[in-house]
Structure 1
């Protein structure tokens, strides 16, 4: 009986050493209970709602004036007097105003390209749209925080750090908006 008791004790000790204790908490896998419990990894998709509204204006007024006059008189023969004056006037009046306004509303799904050590995600993606021979391309890239992504997997463009948002078009309409080559050449010479 003693031998079986010793054998059982040795087997129990051996099993305890082999099992080892491991923690259920893994820092890299932790998510709060209130999160959407979706693990995000490289290659996953996130929708970016692009809502950008920018406007800028500038105005300048310049006024300068200069007035100068010189007068002289000469007496000649008695009773005759000769007089002369020279006047110079220089006036400058300059005014200028520039205004620019842009608005982009779009929805684009991008790919997670990399995940930084702090959990921030590098995203990038582009969308090509062609309507009536007009090609429009929207591209978005930047860095987002996991907490800025909603439970519907959407992030606003105003929450994208280091954002590079590009909206470009080409086609008949875009060609008509661009000045002709000879107009651009004349602009170079100040005409």
Structure 2
């Protein structure tokens, strides 16, 4: 019965030319508007950005130490009368030569796509993302986060990892090969004791 009344009221309004209020919405949305001539670069929260990771690091240090020590004490007593002859001599000598060298080189090449998590007040983009690869039943994870200046983003929406501020790049492998590469517990304990 109520449905019939609504249909009759709508039909009456159409016949009499009475305009019903229409809901309208603007086509322009400030948060998602991008001009037709703009580059396709990340600029807002949720946008994707490709990071090319080219990280090389190397460090080396060496130390050499040489120590020589020689001490000598000597004494002598001679008497010809009742024949007192005494002689004393102490000699101490020591040498130490020591040296050590450490060297480490790391290289990481990867390309991963991250997401803009926040647009900072100075218009820099805080980005973060993770990539997981399974290679020969070994799980490899690359985690990346940092800040990007909009002017460092190329026309192809790509930025080099060397242009990231406060970059944190983590590469972790999990599996049998990674477990075999770690030192055993007993070896670590002996290293702590200096053996």
Q: Which TM-score band applies after superposition, normalised by the shorter structure?
A: 0.7 to 0.9
Unpaired stretches in structure 2, ≥5 consecutive residues? 1-30
Alignment gaps of 5+ in structure 1: 1-27
1:177 to 175, 181, 193: 181
Match of 1:90 in 2: 94
Q: CA RMSD in A?
A: 2.6
Residue 53 of structure 1: how far off its partner (Å): 0.3
**What SS does structure 2 have at the residue aligned with 1:118?**
coil
- Residue correspondence of structure 1 range 135-150 to structure 2 within 5 A: 135-150=139-154
Could you tell me how far apart the structure 2 residues matched to 1:99 and 1:38 are? Answer: 40
Instruction: Return the match for 1:117 from 117, 121, 126.
Output: 121
Instruction: Establish whether residue 67 from structure 1 lines up as the match of residue 70 from structure 2.
Output: yes
Distance 1:32 1:120, change over 3 A: farther
Q: Does 1:47 align with 2:69?
A: no
Give 1:34 shift: 8.4
Q: Distance in 2 between matches of 1:66 and 1:40?
A: 69
- Could you tell me how far 1:96 is from its partner in structure 2? 1.2
Distance 1:153 1:39 in 2: 7
Q: Residue 100 of structure 1 corresponds to which residue in structure 2?
A: 104
Q: Distance in 2 between matches of 1:185 and 1:74?
A: 57
Q: Over residues 151-177 of structure 1, what are the superposed CA-to-partner deviations in whole Å (9 max), with x where a residue is unaligned?
A: 111100001000001111121111111
Give me the TM-score of the superposition, normalised by structure 2: 0.75
- Shift in Å, 1:75: 2.4
C-alpha distance in 1 between matches for 2:170 and 2:42? 29
Q: Report the TM-score when normalising by structure 1.
A: 0.77
**Structure 1 residue matching 2:151: 3-state secondary structure:** helix
Query: SS of 2:167's equivalent?
Result: strand
- CA deviations on 1:105-124 (whole Å, 9 max, x unpaired) are 00010000001122110000
Q: How many residues align?
A: 164
- Which piece of structure 1 moves more, 76-85 or 103-112? 76-85
In the alignment, is residue 154 of structure 1 matched against residue 158 of structure 2? Answer: yes
